[in-house]
A and B are shown apart, each in its own frame.
Chain A
């Protein structure tokens, strides 16, 4: 028994020493080989995140960087561990798509102490601005405002609106609602008559829209959806109700997935405000600025577009996600 535990301890020591030596060797070799970047993705639950990951991976290959990728499976502890391991491996820069806003303070401090620039993508953390180099992401309030402006223009400032919200409490939900209301509050004839969460997914979006139609079917002019998937569910519900989505009831949504463009081509969806996941190029631009010692603003807006139904057919083939 005792012998075995001695053996185990010896094995452990060997592993640690070996690991350190090996890691050291790696670091030395890294001196004149390509820059190494660590990318910590929070999860891969949606097509949107897959597209983001592909963008970061693809752009690394284009620019000739070595990318270390970790998917935290929607568990923050995994993500913190991944960032720690990037620091231990001595990467040149870290791209972090945070799972939640809080709790990243200590590990960001560690990266800062190690002199590794951290670029946050798509979600901000509730930490001091000094803790990260910059944040690249969409302004959800801006998205809601642009969406509202389109709705105002296409309805002449008069509409009874049903709103399909995202998951309660999520940042995009709060801000897309706020942005939309910022604009329509100036128009007394634009009213949100029904509002409910569709949890950002198709099944729930369809179920909620069905219930809305039962309650106020003849009194809805516009459906404003916080994301495309709910809009696609709502479109199906409107069709099954016997109305023509895109004409009898106008449908608007945010995100810009390929299916939404298809819905616009089919005449079911009226307009989309983009929330692009293709943040790879901007993220590496930021890291390069950091390596060059430049100072960037703490929030770099991602390059989002606005797409109307009439333009969809000419754009759809270029959509990557």
Chain B
């Protein structure tokens, strides 16, 4: 696969990120200013870390799904279900609040986190079984939960945004640990969890094998069904965790809107990061950089006050540019030219 001295893939998304940051350094006032306020770090860069966390959590898991040659488009809906369940658990499962009764019971923070995560694991397992055992196309299998899931979330909350105030749970979305936004720390923990599973166990190898050639890996003795089941469960878990972060942040579950189209951002981040959609290979570091690119772009657009009509166009153009630079053809062209130049220089010396 590696021929000679190839420029490492991660360079391209990193260059794109650096370019956006450089633009801000030159043209956006205070973008790099980080101060300490209320005992935590404060500034646009910190906003980026905090706002990118839900997408990053989902995109890390999505990387593994895509590496098996699959896709999980249900994550946005799973996120909404998780958030809705959390907001119900906060109120002890009662909707007294809706009736204007202030006597509702507050649940313990452990339960508020545990129950939605268990539900998300189950939803991930449902996706996994649909793909591995039933044998549905991943796109179709997860489409089921994508459409039905949002309906379930809305039924759970009765179509209303369930508000709450719960200091313990709010920390998940708004807290700071050692001055760093807690959601970002959670994203890093998910990254570590992913790395631990794929580096310390043969799972990483299995995922690539299944994505490369499923029947060949089946014949070589890999339990492909289990591998596929695993990546979808992990993806469900990640979506559920992202849902907790977002719900805790706005102290309410907006079942109709939360996570809407976020599956697209997650998939985009994976692709920007250099993981091919056909599976077989993955680039986890690239995914992390991909998420940072998308969020830095968003925060830049918001801070600079680009008119809303142009926001999506600007975003699309930048993403397109990143993807073109990354495409194999363009990279080969650049590498070819560098080699020719190097050869010429060598000659002239």
Contacts and interface: CB of A to CB of B under 8 A. Distances in A.
Interface of A: 44-47, 49-50, 165, 168-169, 194-197, 199-203, 206-208, 210-212, 214-215, 229, 232-233, 236, 240, 242, 259, 262, 317
Contact of A201 (B163, B254, B308): B254
Interface stretch (B15-23, B58-66, B220-228, B243-251): B243-251
A212 B302 contact: yes
26 contacts: A44-B256, A45-B256, A46-B159, A47-B160, A168-B312, A195-B308, A196-B305, A201-B257, A202-B161, A203-B246, A203-B249, A203-B258, A207-B47, A207-B298, A207-B302, A208-B302, A211-B44, A211-B299, A212-B302, A214-B47, A215-B303, A229-B254, A232-B250, A232-B252, A259-B161, A262-B163
Given A44-B154, A203-B246, A197 B37 contact: no
Given A214-B43, A215-B29, A215-B303, 8 more contacts: A45-B257, A47-B160, A50-B159, A168-B311, A168-B312, A202-B257, A206-B249, A210-B51
A297 B249 CA distance: 46
Residue from the set B44, B302, B303, B309 with the largest chain A CB neighbour count within 10 Å: B302
A168 B305 contact: no
B347 interface: no
Among A195, A200, A232, chain B packs the most CB atoms within 10 A around the CB of A232
B307 interface: yes
A168 B37 contact: no
A140 B307 CA distance: 21
Main SS at interface, chain B: mixed
B254 A196 contact: no
Contacts of A210: 47, 51
B254 A202 contact: yes
B174 A240 contact: yes
B329 interface: no
Nearest to B31: A214
A211 B302 contact: yes
Contacts of A44: 154, 159, 256
A214 B256 contact: no
Contact of A214 (B30, B257, B308, B311): B30
Interface residues of B, number: 37
Interface in B280-316: 298-299, 302-309, 311-312
B51 A207 contact: yes
Contact of B311 (A50, A197, A212, A233): A197
Contacts of B306: 196
A17 B159 CA distance: 40
B254 A211 contact: no
Contacts, number: 89
**Of residues B37, B257, B298, B309, which shows the largest number of chain A Cβ atoms within 10 Å of its Cβ?**
B257
Contacts of A200: 257
Interface in B308-334: 308-309, 311-312
A213 B38 CA distance: 16
Q: Kindly list the 8 A-B residue pairs having the minimum CB-CB distance in the complex, ordered from nearest.
A: A211-B302, A50-B159, A197-B308, A201-B257, A45-B256, A202-B250, A47-B160, A211-B303
A224 B328 CA distance: 47
B93 interface: no
B90 to A, nearest CB: 16
B100 A50 contact: no
B116 to A, nearest CB: 17
Contacts of B159: 44, 46-47, 49-50
A41 to B, nearest CB: 12
Nearest to A321: B160
Nearest to A167: B308
A301 to B, nearest CB: 26
A208 B160 CA distance: 22
Contacts of A317: 100
Contact of A242 (B38, B254, B307, B309): B38
Nearest to B157: A47
Contacts of A165: 308
Interface string B185-224: 0000000000000000000000000000000000000000
Contacts of B174: 240
